[in-house]
Amino acid sequence: MSKVLDISESWSIFRSMIENFQQDHKRVIEIGAGARPYLSKNYVLSQGIDYTISDLSSSELTKSNTDYCRCITMDMEGDIPGNDEGRYDLVFSKMVLEHLEVPEVFHNNGLKLVSSGGVIIHFYACKFGLPSILNIVLPEKFVDWLVYKIQGRDPIMDHRFKAYYRRCLGPVPSQINWWRKMGYEVVDFHGFVGHTYLSRYWILGWCEKVWTRILLALNSAWLSSSAIVVLKVRN
């Protein structure tokens, strides 16, 4: 679990994990889906998935195409609907955990949502990755400029939310132990180093690749920019 991987592999690994687990887990909920649900309409319909998307913000959900899935406004750091407890075989999120103010409540609710034998997959940004450190120390307006102007994100569809990075580490012992204390079994855990935010710029993109190679050589999970964890409820 300790060997770190290149950030360029992260999304393909996440996709394969979701697809592999989904084969036997048809009742699926995406937490914090917002304006861009991860699973496409064609994929959901072709696989016969009972797909629910949820988000804290109803306005974010209205930006997405929801004619192929159940859509609910739900605060995972508050109270969740009683009729959703134990409903889902697969619970997953992408780039949500770093935005949590009270991660303990969120993950306690995750335990309630998943069915017996179900799995939880989270893909999240880590606290000690360079992009996260810059996000923490730089002024908000400057980060907005980097995200929307330099990185080229759409301010409407890809709105930037405040990040706290609480309990957001890669596959280091303290993080693994924390998952276990929360009541989870850690099935799989990958840390990814580097970033690709500047790949559209030739020189800056080259610098990114060099930085990533250095991080891969160091092979420290503490320096993970992002991580993917697969969890089950502990028996």
Distances (CA, A) of 158 to 52, 61, 126: 20, 12, 19
Work out the pLDDT band at 61, boundaries 50, 70, 90. confident
Spatial distance between the Cα atoms of 21 and 13, rounded to a whole number of angstroms? 12
Q: What is the mean pLDDT of residues 36-61?
A: 92
Rounded to two decimals, what is the model's pTM?
A: 0.90
State whether residue 201 is helix, strand or coil: coil
> In which region does residue 95 sit, left (phi positive, over 0), alpha (psi from -120 to 50) or beta (all else)?
left
> What pLDDT, in 10s, does the model give residues 217-232?
999 999 999 999 999 9
pLDDT of 201 over the 90 cut: no
**45 or 195, higher pLDDT:** 45
Q: Looking at residue 151, what is its pLDDT? A: 61
User: Is the C-alpha dihedral spanning 175, 178, 19, 123 positive or negative?
Assistant: negative
Residue type at 42 in one-letter notation? N
Q: Looking at residue 114, what is its pLDDT? A: 94
Q: Does domain 5-233 have CATH number 3.40.50.300?
A: no
Q: Which of 38-47, 159-168, 182-191, 211-220 has the lowest mean pLDDT?
A: 159-168
**Could you please report the per-residue DSSP string of 174-198?**
HHHHHHHHTTEEEEEEEEEE---TT
Work out the pLDDT band at 145, boundaries 50, 70, 90. low
Q: How many CA atoms lie within 13 A of 175 on its CB side?
A: 25
Spatial distance between the Cα atoms of 210 and 10, rounded to a whole number of angstroms? 18
Q: Looking at residue 157, what is its pLDDT? A: 57
Q: What is the mean pLDDT of residues 128-153?
A: 69
State whether residue 231 is helix, strand or coil: strand
Residue given tokens 């991860």 in the structure block: 38
> What pLDDT, in 10s, does the model give residues 69-93?
999 999 999 888 888 888 999 999 9
- How many other CB atoms are found less than 10 A from the CB of residue 148? 15
Spatial distance between the Cα atoms of 100 and 179, rounded to a whole number of angstroms? 15
